[in-house]
Chains A and B, each alone.
Chain A
Amino acid sequence: MENLDQFRKETKEWLEENCPPEMRKPMGPGDVVWGGRNCKFPHPDAKLWLERMGEKGWTCPTWPKEYGGGGLSFDENKILQEELMAIRARPALSSFGIWMLGPALLEFASEEQKKKYIPEIVKGEIRWCQGYSEPGSGSDLASLKTKAEDNGDHFVVNGQKVWTSYADDCDMIFTLVRTGPQEPKHDGISFLLIDMDQPGVTTKPIKLISGKSPFCETFFDNAIVPKENLVSELNKGWDVAKRLLQHERNMIAGMGLGGAGSAKKKKDQTISSGMATMAKTYVGEEEGKLANPGLRQKIASFDINSHAFSLTMRRASEESKSSNSGPSPASSMFKYYGSESNKLRYELMLEAMGTKALGWEGEGFGPAELAITREWLRTKANSIEGGTSEVQLNIIAKRVLDLPQ
Chain B
Amino acid sequence: MSLVLNEEQVFLKDSAKKFASEKTPTTHFREVRDSEIDNCYDDKIWQEMVSLGWTGILVPEEFGGSNFGVAGISSILEELGRTLTPSPLFSTAVVGVSLIKHASDDVKKDILTKVVQDGLRLCFAIEESNHHDPVKISCEAKKDGSNFIISGEKSFVIDGGFADKVIVACRTSGEKGSKEGLSLFVLDSDSKGLTIMPTKMVDSRNAANMKFENVKVSSDTLIGKEDDAYEIIESVLDISRAAISAEMLGSALQAYEITLDYLKEREQFGSKIGSFQALQHRAAIMFSELELCKSCVIESITSFDEGGNDSERLASLSKAKVGEVFHLISNESVQMHGGIGVTDEYDIGLYLKRARVAEQIFGDSNFHKNRYAELTGY
Residue among A271, A289, A397 making CB contact with B378, cutoff 8 Å:
A289
User: A299 contacts B313, CB within 8 Å?
Assistant: no
Neighbouring B residues of A396 by C-beta, 8 Å: 284, 287-288
A390 at the A/B interface (Cβ < 8 Å)?
A: yes
Neighbouring B residues of A307 by C-beta, 8 Å: 296, 317
User: A296 contacts B313, CB within 8 Å?
Assistant: no
How far, in whole Å, are A116 and B150 apart by their CA atoms in the complex?
A: 83
A208 at the A/B interface (Cβ < 8 Å)?
A: no
Known: A271-B376, A299-B378, A315-B295. A304 touches B369 (CB 8 A): yes
Neighbouring A residues of B284 by C-beta, 8 Å: 333, 336, 392-394, 396-397, 400-401
Choose the segment among B39-47, B178-186, B268-276 that binds chain A (4+ C-beta atoms closer than 8 Å). Answer: B268-276
Would you give the 0/1 interface string for A88-109, flagging 1 where the beta carbon is closer than 8 Å to chain B?
Answer: 0000000000000000000000
Q: Which of B270-295 contact A (CB under 8 A)?
A: 271-272, 274-275, 277, 280-281, 283-285, 287-288, 291-295
Neighbouring A residues of B280 by C-beta, 8 Å: 393-394, 397-398, 401, 403
A38 at the A/B interface (Cβ < 8 Å)?
A: no
Would you give the 0/1 interface string for A350-367, flagging 1 where the beta carbon is closer than 8 Å to chain B?
Answer: 000000000000000000
Known: A333-B288, A403-B264. A315 touches B294 (CB 8 A): yes
Known: A299-B378, A303-B372. A404 touches B274 (CB 8 A): yes
A24 at the A/B interface (Cβ < 8 Å)?
A: no
Choose the segment among A177-185, A191-199, A209-217, A273-281 that binds chain B (4+ C-beta atoms closer than 8 Å). Answer: A273-281
- Nearest chain B CB to A351 CB, angstrom units: 15
How far, in whole Å, are A191 and B378 apart by their CA atoms in the complex?
A: 52
Known: A268-B309, A312-B295, A314-B3. A404 touches B272 (CB 8 A): yes
B129 at the A/B interface (Cβ < 8 Å)?
A: no
Residue among A279, A308, A337, A394 making CB contact with B321, cutoff 8 Å:
A308
Residue among A303, A390, A401 making CB contact with B283, cutoff 8 Å:
A401
- Nearest chain A CB to B353 CB, angstrom units: 25
User: B373 contacts A289, CB within 8 Å?
Assistant: yes
User: B263 contacts A308, CB within 8 Å?
Assistant: no
B310 at the A/B interface (Cβ < 8 Å)?
A: yes
- Nearest chain A CB to B84 CB, angstrom units: 23
A328 at the A/B interface (Cβ < 8 Å)?
A: no
Neighbouring B residues of A404 by C-beta, 8 Å: 264, 271-272, 274-275
User: A273 contacts B378, CB within 8 Å?
Assistant: yes
Q: Which of A46-65 contact B (CB under 8 A)?
A: none
Classify the interface of chain A: helix, strand, loop or mixed.
helix
Residue among A270, A289, A403 making CB contact with B309, cutoff 8 Å:
A270
A72 at the A/B interface (Cβ < 8 Å)?
A: no
A285 at the A/B interface (Cβ < 8 Å)?
A: yes
Known: A276-B377, A401-B287, A405-B275. A311 touches B369 (CB 8 A): no
User: B373 contacts A290, CB within 8 Å?
Assistant: yes
A111 at the A/B interface (Cβ < 8 Å)?
A: no
How far, in whole Å, are A297 and B370 apart by their CA atoms in the complex?
A: 7
Residue among A290, A311, A333 making CB contact with B287, cutoff 8 Å:
A333
Neighbouring A residues of B298 by C-beta, 8 Å: 315
Q: How large, as a class, is the contact surface on chain B?
A: 35 or more
Neighbouring A residues of B275 by C-beta, 8 Å: 403-405
Known: A304-B317, A308-B317, A308-B321. A333 touches B291 (CB 8 A): yes
User: B271 contacts A336, CB within 8 Å?
Assistant: no
- Nearest chain B CB to A82 CB, angstrom units: 16
- Nearest chain B CB to A92 CB, angstrom units: 29
B70 at the A/B interface (Cβ < 8 Å)?
A: no
User: A397 contacts B283, CB within 8 Å?
Assistant: yes
- Nearest chain B CB to A107 CB, angstrom units: 25
User: A290 contacts B378, CB within 8 Å?
Assistant: yes
How far, in whole Å, are A272 and B310 apart by their CA atoms in the complex?
A: 12
A301 at the A/B interface (Cβ < 8 Å)?
A: yes
Neighbouring B residues of A314 by C-beta, 8 Å: 3, 295
User: B274 contacts A336, CB within 8 Å?
Assistant: no
A318 at the A/B interface (Cβ < 8 Å)?
A: yes
A402 at the A/B interface (Cβ < 8 Å)?
A: yes
Neighbouring A residues of B340 by C-beta, 8 Å: none
User: B376 contacts A276, CB within 8 Å?
Assistant: yes
Residue among A270, A394, A401 making CB contact with B260, cutoff 8 Å:
A401
Would you give the 0/1 interface string for A221-260, flagging 1 where the beta carbon is closer than 8 Å to chain B?
Answer: 0000000000000000000000000000000000000000
A220 at the A/B interface (Cβ < 8 Å)?
A: no
How far, in whole Å, are A270 and B283 apart by their CA atoms in the complex?
A: 34
A381 at the A/B interface (Cβ < 8 Å)?
A: no
- Nearest chain B CB to A131 CB, angstrom units: 29
Chain A residue with Cβ nearest B273: A404
Neighbouring B residues of A390 by C-beta, 8 Å: 281
How far, in whole Å, are A279 and B377 apart by their CA atoms in the complex?
A: 12
Neighbouring A residues of B274 by C-beta, 8 Å: 397, 403-404
Chain A residue with Cβ nearest B374: A289
B238 at the A/B interface (Cβ < 8 Å)?
A: no
User: A276 contacts B373, CB within 8 Å?
Assistant: yes
User: B310 contacts A285, CB within 8 Å?
Assistant: no
A137 at the A/B interface (Cβ < 8 Å)?
A: no
User: B292 contacts A312, CB within 8 Å?
Assistant: yes
A18 at the A/B interface (Cβ < 8 Å)?
A: no
Neighbouring B residues of A401 by C-beta, 8 Å: 260, 280, 283-284, 287
- Nearest chain B CB to A33 CB, angstrom units: 33
User: B281 contacts A393, CB within 8 Å?
Assistant: yes
A81 at the A/B interface (Cβ < 8 Å)?
A: no
User: A312 contacts B372, CB within 8 Å?
Assistant: no
Residue among B3, B291, B293, B376 making CB contact with A303, cutoff 8 Å:
B376
Chain A residue with Cβ nearest B282: A393
Neighbouring B residues of A288 by C-beta, 8 Å: 377-378
A319 at the A/B interface (Cβ < 8 Å)?
A: yes
* Sample of 18 further A-B pairs with CB below 8 A, known A394-B281, A396-B284: A270-B310, A273-B378, A276-B378, A289-B378, A297-B370, A300-B320, A300-B369, A300-B372, A308-B296, A309-B292, A319-B4, A333-B284, A390-B281, A398-B280, A400-B287, A401-B280, A401-B284, A403-B274
The 4 closest A-B pairs by CB, nearest first: A397-B280, A396-B284, A276-B378, A311-B295
List 9 A–B pairs whose Cβ atoms lie within 8 Å, in order of A's numbering.
A288-B377, A297-B370, A297-B373, A304-B369, A308-B295, A308-B321, A311-B296, A318-B4, A337-B292
Question: Which residues of B approach A to under 8 Å, CB–CB?
Answer: 3-4, 260, 263-264, 271-272, 274-275, 277, 280-281, 283-285, 287-288, 291-296, 298-299, 309-310, 313, 317, 320-321, 366, 369-370, 372-374, 376-378
